[in-house]
Structure 1
Amino acid sequence: MSQISMNTHKASIPAAERASGPWRDAWKAFRRNKTAVVGLSIIIIFILIAILAPLLSTYDYKEQVLTDRLQAPSAEHWFGTDDLGRDIFTRTLYGARISLWVGFLSVIGSIILGTALGILAGFYGKWWDMLISRLFDILLAFPSILLAIAIVAILGPSLENALYAIAIVNVPTYGRLVRSKVLSLKTEEYITAARAIGVKNSRILIRHILPNSLTPIIVQGTLGIGTAIIEAAALGFLGMGAQPPEPEWGKMLSDSRQFIQTAPWTVFFPGLSIMLTVLGFNLLGDGLRDVLDPRMKPK
C-alpha cells in the first residue's frame, strides 16, 4: 500500500519539476548559450584531432625530406612543408596533443595547489593567511612569463619543466580566488550551525566549503587552459619548452620565423591553431561564467 502511495505522489509532481536540478538547469542554460557551444565545439574538434592524429595523416612528424623543403600547400602536403621537408599538416596535428596536454595538466596542477593554499589561508586565517598571502604577492610581483622563464632556466629547458613552470606561476590566481570565496562562505549561517553542533573542520571543508567554491574554479580553470597554451607556446618560441623534434606550435613558429616572407604557410598554420584553441577555451569560459554565476543571470 505504501509503494502505491509513493507512486501516486510521484505521479502528482509535474514532469518539469522532477527533471529540474541545479546541474540539469545549468546544462539547459549552457545549451542555450551560443558562445559556450561554439567554444566547446572548437575544443572538441581539437581534442579529436589530437587523438586521431595518427589516422589523419600518413606522414611521420619527424620525417625529414630535404628535397621537399619549403613546398607550398598542395594535394600532397595540405599545409606545405617546413625548411627540413617535414609535413606541416602532420606536425600541426601532433602539436595539438602537446598543447592540450600542457594546458590541461598545468591548470590541474595550479588548481590543486592553489585550492589547497587558498582554503588554508581563508578558513584558518591568522599566520596561515599572512604567510600564504605574502607568498602569492611575491609570485604576482613578477610578470608570469618572466617568472616561468626563470623557473625553466633553473630546471633546464624541456616540455615537462615548462609544464611545472606554468603550473607554479598560475597558482596565485586560483589561490586568491578560493581564499576570497572561503572568506565569504565561512561566515554563512549553515557553517556557523555546523560548528555549533560540533562538526569537524575537515568535514566542513569537504562537505560545504569546497563544493560551494567549485563554480569560480571551473570558470577560471577553463579560461586558464587558454592562457597556459599561450605561455607554453611562448616558452617553446624562446627554445625553453618542447625540444626538437617535438612538434610544439610555439617551437614551430620559432623555427619558421625567418621564412615568414618567403614561406608564410610555415608560420600561418601553427599560429592559426594556437589562436583557434585559445579562442575556444575563452568562449567556453565566458559561457560557463554566464551560466554558473548567479549574478550574470537575468532577474
Structure 2
Amino acid sequence: MADTQVQTVPLQVKDEQIISPWREAWRALRKNKLAMAGLGIILFFVVVAVFAPIIAPYPYDEGELVMKNKPPSEEHWFGTDYNGRDVFSRVVYGARISLWVGTFSVIGSVVAGTVLGLLAGYYGKWIDTLISRIFDIMLAFPSILLAIAIVAILGPSLQNALLAIAIINIPTFGRLVRSRVLSLKEEEFVMAARAIGMKDSRILMQHILPNSLAPIIVTGTMGIATAIIEAAALGFLGLGAQPPEPEWGKMLSDSRQYIQKAPWTVIFPGLSIMLTVLGFNLIGDGLRDALDPRMKN
C-alpha cells in the first residue's frame, strides 16, 4: 500500500481581514455624525489657536478709548470692549489659553491619577487605603472651591490655575484606574504573567495599563471640557489669567457691567466657551460609544 503524503497548505489571512480594536473604534466613530461634528468644532478652534497671529486683525492688548464699546462692524467684526480693544482678536487669542489650560491640566491629572490608581489597585493593603482616603478627602470638597483654595494659596495666575485644575481632577482618574486594575489583576493573563516571574512594573505597563486606556481616553476627553469651564470660572473670579491676557472667563468678568450697554462683549466669549465645551462633550460621547463593547450591537 503506497504511502500517502499529506501536504499542508498555509492559511493565508488578508491584512484587510485583521482589524485592530482601535481601527474598529475609529470606523465606528466616523459613523457617529454628532461625534464628527464635535471633532470638527475642536479642529476649528485648534486651527484658530495655532494661527491666531494671522487670523487676528489687531493686537489683543491694544485699543483706543475713542473706540470704546463700539458695536460689531466691518472694521471690528465682534465689536470693541470697554478699553476699545477688538473683541474678535481677543476671542481668537483666548482660544490658545483655554485649549492650553484644558489640555495640559487634564494631561497632568491623567498622569498623576493613573500612577496612583495603578499603585492602589495592584498592591492594595495600606497603599490602597492611604491613596483612597486622600481621594475621598479631596472629593469631599466641591471641586471649584478646592481650586479656589489652591490658587488663593499659590497666588492668582494662569499657571497656578492650571495646576489647581490638574490637582482637583486627579481623584477622578485615580479612582477610575483603580477600579480597572482591581478587575484586571485577577484575570488569567495577569496571573499567568505572575506565574512566569514577570516583574510587577512590566505587568502594570504591558498588560494592565493598555487594557485600561479606553476609559481613560473617554474620561480625559470629557475632562478637557470640564477643565475649560473651571478655568473660565477661575478667570471670572480674577484667580486665573491676569490682564491683559484674553482668557474667555476673564473677558466675561471684565464685561459683565456692560452687558446691557455692550452685550457683544459677553456674547462672543460665552459662545466660544459653549462651543468648545460642546465639541469635547460630543467627541467624548462618541468615543465612549466606539470604545465600549457594551455599546456595540
Q: TM-score range by the shorter chain?
A: over 0.9
Secondary structure class of the residue paired with 1:213 = helix
TM-superposed CA distance for 1:15, in Å, is 5.8
Q: How does 1:83-94 map to 2 (within 5 A)?
A: 83-94=82-93
Distance 1:74 1:198, change over 3 A: same
**Which whole-Å CA distance do the structure 2 matches of 1:238 and 1:9 have between them?**
69
Q: Which residue of 2 aligns with 1:62?
A: 61
TM-score normalized with structure 1 length: 0.95
**Which whole-Å CA distance do the structure 2 matches of 1:57 and 1:295 have between them?**
45
Distance 1:146 1:33, change over 3 A: same
Q: How does 1:187-266 map to 2 (within 5 A)?
A: 187-266=186-265
After superposition, the CA RMSD in angstroms is 1.1
Question: What letter corresponds to residue 70 of structure 2 in structure 1?
Answer: Q
Moved over 4 A (4+): none
- Matching of residue 281 in structure 1 with residue 287 in structure 2: no
**Which whole-Å CA distance do the structure 2 matches of 1:293 and 1:68 have between them?**
53
Q: Which residue of 2 aligns with 1:120?
A: 119
TM-superposed CA distance for 1:13, in Å, is 3.0
Q: Which residue of 2 aligns with 1:17?
A: 17
**Which whole-Å CA distance do the structure 1 matches of 2:210 and 2:291 have between them?**
13
Q: Deviations over 1:183-210 (max 9, x none)?
A: 0000101111111111111110111011
TM-superposed CA distance for 1:57, in Å, is 2.0
TM-superposed CA distance for 1:21, in Å, is 1.8
Secondary structure class of the residue paired with 1:222 = helix
Secondary structure class of the residue paired with 2:77 = coil
Secondary structure class of the residue paired with 2:51 = helix
**Which whole-Å CA distance do the structure 1 matches of 2:81 and 2:193 have between them?**
63
Question: What letter corresponds to residue 13 of structure 1 in structure 2?
Answer: V
- Matching of residue 160 in structure 1 with residue 159 in structure 2: yes
Percent identity over the alignment is 71
Q: Deviations over 1:114-145 (max 9, x none)?
A: 00000010000000000000000000000000
TM-superposed CA distance for 1:257, in Å, is 0.2
Question: What letter corresponds to residue 21 of structure 1 in structure 2?
Answer: S
Q: Which residue of 1 aligns with 2:51?
A: 52
Q: How does 1:73-112 map to 2 (within 5 A)?
A: 73-112=72-111
**Which whole-Å CA distance do the structure 1 matches of 2:66 and 2:261 have between them?**
17
**Which whole-Å CA distance do the structure 1 matches of 2:166 and 2:295 have between them?**
29
**Which whole-Å CA distance do the structure 2 matches of 1:136 and 1:13 have between them?**
48
**Which whole-Å CA distance do the structure 2 matches of 1:9 and 1:196 have between them?**
33
Question: What letter corresponds to residue 261 of structure 1 in structure 2?
Answer: Q
Q: Deviations over 1:66-121 (max 9, x none)?
A: 00000000000000000000000000000000000000000000000000000010
Ranges in structure 1 where 5+ consecutive residues have no aligned partner:
1-7
Moved more, 234-243 or 197-206: 197-206
TM-superposed CA distance for 1:286, in Å, is 0.3
Question: What letter corresponds to residue 126 of structure 2 in structure 1?
Answer: W
Distance 1:9 1:43, change over 3 A: farther
Q: Which residue of 2 aligns with 1:186?
A: 185
TM-superposed CA distance for 1:153, in Å, is 0.2
TM-score normalized with structure 2 length: 0.95
Question: What letter corresponds to residue 98 of structure 2 in structure 1?
Answer: S
Q: Which residue of 2 aligns with 1:131?
A: 130
The number of residue pairs the alignment matches comes to 289
**Which whole-Å CA distance do the structure 2 matches of 1:142 and 1:114 have between them?**
18
